[in-house]
Structures are given as structure tokens and as C-alpha cells.
Structure 1
Amino acid sequence: MVSFSDIVSNVGALLRQRTLGRSIVLLLSVAILLLLIVNATTFVMIQRTAAFNDQVEAAWQARRSGRLLLLNLKDAETAQRGYVLTGLYSFRMEYDRAVQANAYLVDTLAERLGNDPVDVSTVEAVTRLSRDKILEMGAVIALSQTGQGQQATRRIAQGGGKALMEQLESELGDLDRRMGTRLAQGRAQSEGSATFTAVVNGIAGVLILLLGAVVFLLVWRYLAELKDAQATVDRVNAGLEETVKARTAALVRSNEEVQRFAYIVSHDLRSPLVNVMGYTAELEQAGRTIDLQMTKVETVAPELLERDALTAAREDIPEAVGFIRASTEKMDRLINSILKLSREGRRNLVPETLDIGGMTERIADTVRHQLEATETEVVVGEMVPIESDRLSMEQILGNLIDNAVKYLQPGRPGRIEVNGRDLPGGWVEYAIADNGRGIAEKDHERVFELFRRAGRQDQKGEGLGLAFVRNSVRRLGGEVTVESVPGEGSTFRLKFPRRLILDEAGDAL
């Protein structure tokens, strides 16, 4: 995982290089920084503009509340005079409605003005004057209701109510002018903020366009240089491709020569080996004949028999013949194994869709007697199909299952599990796990080498099985690895392409 310090180190190394890439990175960094500054400035100015707009809205609402309050009191005064002059109940209803609305309008005005000392003083004065005005109008209404119309008219003519209304108009007029001033200031500030934001964005846009033009020119120059470099690479690749083809052909020829050499050597070694085995049989027969003759001599004339000759005939010669026979048999097995590897390398692969689960179960059936003798269980889990060479896959799985059975841990029931799964990228993995002896970590690679074995050598074998497995797996385009802990068991993992692709010769690409 790449750490932050690695990123900083790589960026620092890039900036120290005088390259086109560094120039582009620097210009893009400046453009990004400029965008961040513009965004931050725009955000701040938008917040300020919003605050100014809130102030404008608050001043306008307060101004409107003051005017509504004054209009409501004038409506109440008009309805009061109409009722006194005419006695009509509709005027009384209009008066009552205006009086009831007064308290709400005063509270609304106080709420919209806030805590400014001047505004608070205005609200107190308006509250007191509107209350006095309503009391004065109520007294006049009461006189009119009791039939004292002339006294009510005279009370109105005295001008007490008019004086209160003039004071209210004065207070609310001052408030209206203050609110008008605040509205003008708020609008001016909002417009100034919007203008500043537009100017900043305009300047930033011009600078970004200039940086974009410079980056475009640098990229255009870089692409031109890249095109020239690509042409050079294409010329080099053209020659390199021919070289690779020639070397690949030489390698194929060398591999074929090695396989032919292994076949010829194995075939030529077999002829003298057969002779040695034949003469060993004759020597063994001759030894038995000599032993019979010496037995007769020992019976008829024992004094003529040499003890050393008798020991040689009866012990030394049979022992030597036995060693020769064992060595020739081992050499015969090694030659057969080499021939098998050579033939497998020359065989053309034939891809087909394979049921690996069914194949594994059939292979397990071939060693059923060994499994029952060791109380071993073979579990075939979920498998995935694959398109590959049938014979190669049977030999690979057969060798691995045979090995698992051969190297089980004595004294405990054996268990062999075979599972498969899909891997990303068009690959398939099969795992053959056992609870056997296990393999030491230092031998994990060694067990795949020719004639090399690991652990106790108490089982028959020449050390060719896993070498054959690796060779076959590689021919199919895959790889084999082992995970193992001594005393706990081993897991061989086979990784193959889901679909085997062959060249014209029938070998995997």
C-alpha cells in the first residue's frame, strides 16, 4: 500500500526534474489553487450577500409593520367617528376589528425591529401612544353608547385624539425613515458584494483560460514529442519483433533437440542395460551351478574345498548379483521416467471442456483400496469446469492424489480435500489439500526438481512425480505452488487459464 510519505517523495522528485511533466503539473496545481481561492472567496461573498439581503428583508418587513400599524389605528379612528356621527353598527364592528388587531401589529413590529436601542425606544413609545389612543377612542364610544352624542362630538373636537395620532405618526414616520435608510444601505452593500464576486470570478476565469491555453500548448508539444517517440519505438519494435521470433524459433528448436536427445539417450542406455540385466541373470544361474558343484565337493572330498571359495560362492557372489540387479532395476525405472517426460513434451495438446469434479472422483476410485486400508476420506468440493487437455489434467491430478495417499501421517485417519474456484482475469484455481506428513519450508521448491525428494525416504519413488506435474502444468499455461507445515499437511494449488489457447504446433501459448 502506497503511504502518504511515498506520495510526497514522488511528487518532490517530479518537481525537482526540469521536464514538461513538471511544468504541466505546476500549471495545473496553480489552476486548482486559483479555483480553490475563487470558490472560497465566492462562498464568503455569497454568505455576506445573504446577510445583507436578510438585513434588507428585515428592514422592509419592519417598515411595512409600522405602516400597517398606523393605517390600522387610522381605520379605527375613522370607524369611531363614523359610529359617533351615524350610530351605525357596521362602524362599530370595523372599530372593534381594528382595536383587536392593534396588539398583534404592535408585537409584530417589536419582533421585526429586534434589540436595537433606538428601535426598542420607538416600540415602547408606539405601544404607549397606541394604548392611549385606543383608550381615548373607547371613552368617546362609551359616551355615544349612553346617548351622550353631543359630549362625544365635543370630546373629538377638543383634539386630544388628534394630538395622540400626530405623535404616533411622528414616531412611526421616524421609524419609516430609519428603515428606508437601512434598506438603501443594505441594497448598496448587497450590490457591492455581488459586483465584487462577479469581478473576482471574471478575473479568475480569465486567468484559468490563460493557464488552460498554456497547458494546451504544452500538451500539444508533449503529444508531438510522444508521437515522434512512438515512431522511434515502432521502428525499434519492428526489429525487436523479428529478433524475438528468431530467438523463439531457436528456443523451440533447442527444446525439441533436448527432447530428442533425452529420448535417444534413454533409448541407447536401455540396450546396454538390457545386456547387463541379461548377463546378471546368467551370472546368477552360474552362481547357483557353482554352489551345487561345491556342495558335492564338500560332501565327497571336503578336504579339497577352500573355505574362502565357499564363502565367495554362497555369500559374496549372490550379494553382488543382488546389488547389480537392484541398481539395474532402479536405472530402468529412471530411464522409463525420462522417456515418459520426453513423450509428454512431444505430445500435442487437445483442449476440451472438462468436468474436473467427476475426473477427480474417478481418480480417487482407482486408489480406493489404499484409501480403505489407511481409513482415508477423499472429499471433492465445489469444482469449476475448465477447457484444457484431458490427459494432462488426469496425470496432474492423479500424481498429486497419489502423493497425498503415499505420504499420509501414520496413526491418524487421512483426509484429502479437492476444491476449485474462479479467479479474476479468466483464471481457475484447484487446491488439493491433505493432513499428511507435510513438507519443510526449505523443501517447498526442491520437491518440484528432477530426482529430488524431501523428508523420510520410506516410500518407493525416483523423485519425478512432482517434476512431471510442474512440467505438465506449465505446458497448459498454468503454475503450481505448495503450502505446507510439517506434521499438519500440505496444500498444492494449481492455477490455470479458464481456456487453453494453442499455437499451430498444438502447444500452449
Structure 2
Amino acid sequence: MRRNARMDAGELRGRRVRLQALWASAPLFIALLLIILIGLTTAWLVHENRRQNELVVHTFTVINEANRWELNSASATAQQRGYMLTRDPAFLGHFRNSIDAMTPSVERLVRLTADNGAQHRRAREIQALAQARVRELWRVQSLIESDDRQAAMAAVAVARVQNATLRDRLNEFRATEVQLLNQRQARAASSGRWVLVLVITGLATATVLAVGVIQALRRTLGQVRESNALVTAANETLEARVRERTAELVEANEELQRFAYIVSHDLRAPLVNVMGFTAELSESLGTLTRFAEARAADGSDALPGEVRRAIGEDLPEAIGFINASSAKMDRLIKAILNLARAGRRTLTPEPTSLDWLVAGVVATLKHQIDSAGARVEVGSLPTIEADRVMLDQIFANLIENAVKYRRANVAPVIRVEGELAGPVATIRVIDNGRGIAPADQGRVFELFRRAGAQDQPGEGLGLAHVRALVRRLGGGIALASTPGVGSIFTVTLPRHPPMEERLHERQP
């Protein structure tokens, strides 16, 4: 009790230390979450800053495109005037280059402003005026080419008014873009400042976190070491208790097996006496029966009715009951002795082909199988290392039960199949018999338990014996059954015997 109290106190103290360490670490977790939040916010601001810078570059591109169109327009006008005054072909070439660049330039301006509804409408107006300006330049050029100098000079005067309107629209367009540029530059600068602030804050927080982590680690390390020492001591104590309990259970199990063996052996002595005296009573009854028959045959004094009834009915019936009960008791004692011997028997693991073993079981039960008109199908089965005698008993019981508990007027079909999955072998015995009701499926593996109609001889020990053998081999057995359809007994066994059995076998 004191040792248990010490272990419980140590466990409580270890839990308390772990809770204290957790609470001490709470500020560090908060700081870490703050750094994560700062990092996410910084990433968003960096993205926003980059987007604003891209918008600034885009605005510069729009302004440059407007300036380029105006430059080309002014160049075309100047080159046309020079050609009109000097008739120098060089002016004509430059004029054509400038006027050819005007239309693509204004088209680019329209495309660049597609993201801004108001500016896009202004760009469309500028495009219409620019197209009219290009047409007017070509009209003036055609007048110059036709040597109509007076008409050309008049057209140039009209074009100045048209050009002034276009220039006003361009100036209004550029002013709006400059205003938009200033706004975007301000937002880009603001996001850049916030990025700088958050980076500095993050660095400061990371520094504080690093210092806090170092301090917390120093403070917690000692607590963790103390807690580990307490847990190690508790584990060692627990392992010692488990070993003690295991030894006690092994000893109790061995004592129970010895008790069952001794009791069963001692029960056989009086049972043999009862069976012997019953045999003598049977012989005496035969003598009495012959005596009564002789008296009746020679006409001697007839026996009283009670005596004749006792000799002919009561005594044979009583002796029959005694024989049946003695035979049942004898079978029960033998079954208990078999269970006790199975528990005490030293295992002899050896490589065993279950194909070969089940085929041998089927050959041994051939008479019963043929009498029932049954068919046994054996699939591909694995090879395992286990006690061959116990394996033989397991599958003999299962196949014999499948033959015995068949459905009326239905030929039994029994299939044995299995596979190997890693260290575990699974074998299934499948039948089309009468099946087992769900309420009885959990009890059929218990001692002296039988399910369904009691129309077959048995004491309810077969499946209990099978489960004991399977467990002794380190495996398990499960049942899935549907009444009127059949049953599936699934046996799982280790591919190799458990380590403790190997060690036991190596000991002298």
C-alpha cells in the first residue's frame, strides 16, 4: 500500500510539473503566434506593395504612351510643313513614319486604360479625335501633292483648331493619370513603410522570443529532468508489479491445472467403482431374470407382481440410467483431463504445412465425412511454425463439428482456406451447416455450452478445447454465423511461436 501511495504521489507530482511547464510556456506560444501573425501581415503588405508599384509603372506607361502619340503628331505636322515649304523627300519619309506610328500608339493607349472606366472613355474620345487628325493630315498631304498651296494652307489653319481640341483632351487625360499616379505612389510608399515597421517589429519580437525560449528552457529543463526521474521510478515500480502479478497468475494457472488434473483423476476412482458395481448389478439382474423365467416355465409358484415388475422394468431402467450417467461422467472427466494436459503440455514448435496437416485430418475423418455425404475442399494454406499435435486437434474438432452439425437434407460442403499476412496466418473453416443463433455465438466457446438442437452427442467441450489450444499457440479464434446458412470459424495464428515460448523451449 505504501509503495502504491508513493507511486501515485510521484505520478501526481509529475503531472503538476508538466502543467507548470505548460503554463510557463504560454507566453512563448503567444509570442510565436504574434510572429506568425506579423509574418502573414508582412507577406500581405509586400504583395500589396508590389501591386501598387505595378500600378505606378502601369500609370507611367499610360502617360508615356500619350506623350508618344503627341510627339508623333507634332513630328508629322512639322515634317509635313517642311515638305510643303522645301519639297525635300526626306521630310516626306519622316512624315510617313510619324503618321504610321500614331494609330498603333492610340490603340495601345485605349488597351492600357481598359481597367479604368473613366480614363477608358477619355481614351476612346482621344482615339476618335486622333483618327480624324490622321485623316486631316492625309488630306492636307494630298493637297500639297496636287500643288494646291492655297487650299493646303487653309486646311493647315483648320487643322490647328482641331489639334488644339485634341491637345486639350490629352492634357486632361494626362492630368487625371498624374493624379492617379500620385495616389498610387502614396499608397506604395505607405505599404512600404508598413512593411519596414512590421519587419522591425518581427525582428524585435523574435529577439524577445529567443531570449524567452532560452530562459524557459533553462527553467523547464530541470523540471523535465525531475519529472523524467519520477516517471522512470514509477515505470520501474509498475514493471515490478506487473512481473509480480504475472508470476502470481502463472502460478495460479498452474495450480488450477494441477487441481483440475487431480480432481479429475480422483473422480475416476469412484466412477470406476460405480461402473464396476453397475456391471455386477447387470449380471445379478440377468440371474434374477433367468430365475423368474424358469419359475414361470415349470409352473412353480408364481412370483408376486411387484417382484416381476421390479425384475422386468424397474431394475433394467435404473441400471440403464446409471450406465448412461456413468458414461457421461466418464466423458466429462476425460475432457477435463485433456484440457488440463493441454495446458501443462510442453509445446514443440516445428515448421508445419497446413495443407498437409488438414489433408491428414480429412483422411482421418473420412468415414464420418463419407457417412454424412459431405465434401471437404481444401484451398491453398500457409506453412507456419507451431506445435503440430495441437494444430491437428484444432482443425479436427472444427471439421468434425462442421460435419456433425449439418442441415437436414443438405449435403455438407466444408471449405478450408487461408492466407499469410506478414507475421500472422489466417485460416477459415467455412460450412453450409445449420448455423448458430446470434445469442449463442458468444457462448459456444465456453465450457459445457451447446447451441441449437441437442440431436448430436457431445458435452459442450469441443470448442472450449479448441479456443484453449489456439490461445496456447498465441492466436485467436472468431465466429461468424447465420442460422440456416452456415458458419465461418476464423483462426489466426502467429507465423512463428511467441518469443517467450522460444525461450522456454531452449531452457533445459
CA distance in 1, matches of 2:120, 2:477: 89
Could you tell me which amino acid in structure 2 is paired with residue 338 of structure 1?
I
The 1:344/1:165 distance shift into structure 2, 3 A limit, reads same
CA distance in 1, matches of 2:121, 2:275: 127
Could you tell me which amino acid in structure 1 is paired with residue 414 of structure 2?
I
The 1:386/1:113 distance shift into structure 2, 3 A limit, reads same
Shift of 1:120: 5.6
Which of 337, 340, 363 lines up with 1:339 in the alignment? Answer: 337
The 5 Å alignment of 1:386-465 reads: 386-421=384-419, 426-465=423-462
Could you tell me which amino acid in structure 1 is paired with residue 285 of structure 2?
G
Secondary structure at 1:401 match in 2 = helix
CA distance in 2, matches of 1:138, 1:48: 50
The 1:482/1:22 distance shift into structure 2, 3 A limit, reads farther
- How many residue pairs match? The answer is 486
Could you tell me which amino acid in structure 2 is paired with residue 437 of structure 1?
R
Which of 254, 261, 281 lines up with 1:256 in the alignment? Answer: 254
* Contact 1:106/1:127 (<8 A) preserved: no
Shift of 1:346: 1.8
The 1:436/1:209 distance shift into structure 2, 3 A limit, reads farther
Unpaired segments of 5 or more residues in structure 2? 1-17
Deviations 1:199-247 (A, max 9, x none): 2344245446545654665566555434323322322333443343344
Shift of 1:471: 0.9
* Contact 1:477/1:496 (<8 A) preserved: yes
CA distance in 2, matches of 1:452, 1:118: 94
CA distance in 2, matches of 1:134, 1:299: 157
CA distance in 2, matches of 1:408, 1:101: 101
- Aligned equivalent of 1:105: 105
- Aligned equivalent of 1:281: 279
Could you tell me which amino acid in structure 1 is paired with residue 416 of structure 2?
V
Secondary structure at 2:444 match in 1 = helix
Could you tell me which amino acid in structure 1 is paired with residue 494 of structure 2?
P
Secondary structure at 2:504 match in 1 = coil
The 1:211/1:332 distance shift into structure 2, 3 A limit, reads same
Identity among equivalent positions (%) equals 34
Greater shift, 59-68 or 196-205, is seen at 196-205
Could you tell me which amino acid in structure 2 is paired with residue 332 of structure 1?
D
* Contact 2:258/2:340 (<8 A) preserved: yes
The 1:421/1:73 distance shift into structure 2, 3 A limit, reads same
- Aligned equivalent of 1:96: 96
Alignment pair present for 1:468 and 2:465: yes
RMSD between aligned residues: 4.0
Shift of 1:348: 1.6
The 5 Å alignment of 1:236-275 reads: 236-275=234-273
What TM-score results when the alignment is normalised by the length of structure 2?
0.79
The 1:237/1:52 distance shift into structure 2, 3 A limit, reads closer
Alignment pair present for 1:303 and 2:277: no
Shift of 1:469: 0.9
* Contact 2:479/2:489 (<8 A) preserved: yes
* Contact 1:84/1:152 (<8 A) preserved: no
Unpaired segments of 5 or more residues in structure 1? 1-16
* Contact 1:84/1:141 (<8 A) preserved: no
What TM-score results when the alignment is normalised by the length of structure 1?
0.79
The 5 Å alignment of 1:308-387 reads: 308-381=306-379, 383-387=381-385
CA distance in 2, matches of 1:315, 1:178: 130
CA distance in 2, matches of 1:119, 1:261: 104
Alignment pair present for 1:499 and 2:500: no
Secondary structure at 1:447 match in 2 = coil
The 1:245/1:49 distance shift into structure 2, 3 A limit, reads closer
Shift of 1:398: 1.3
CA distance in 2, matches of 1:116, 1:305: 135
Shift of 1:159: 7.7
CA distance in 2, matches of 1:504, 1:161: 112
* Contact 1:290/1:313 (<8 A) preserved: yes
CA distance in 2, matches of 1:331, 1:434: 31
Could you tell me which amino acid in structure 2 is paired with residue 135 of structure 1?
E
Shift of 1:407: 1.0
The 5 Å alignment of 1:111-190 reads: 111-113=111-113, 124=125, 128=129, 131-132=132-133, 135=136, 138-139=139-140, 142-143=143-144, 145-146=145-146, 151=149, 155=153, 172=170, 179-180=177-178, 182-190=180-188
Shift of 1:56: 1.6
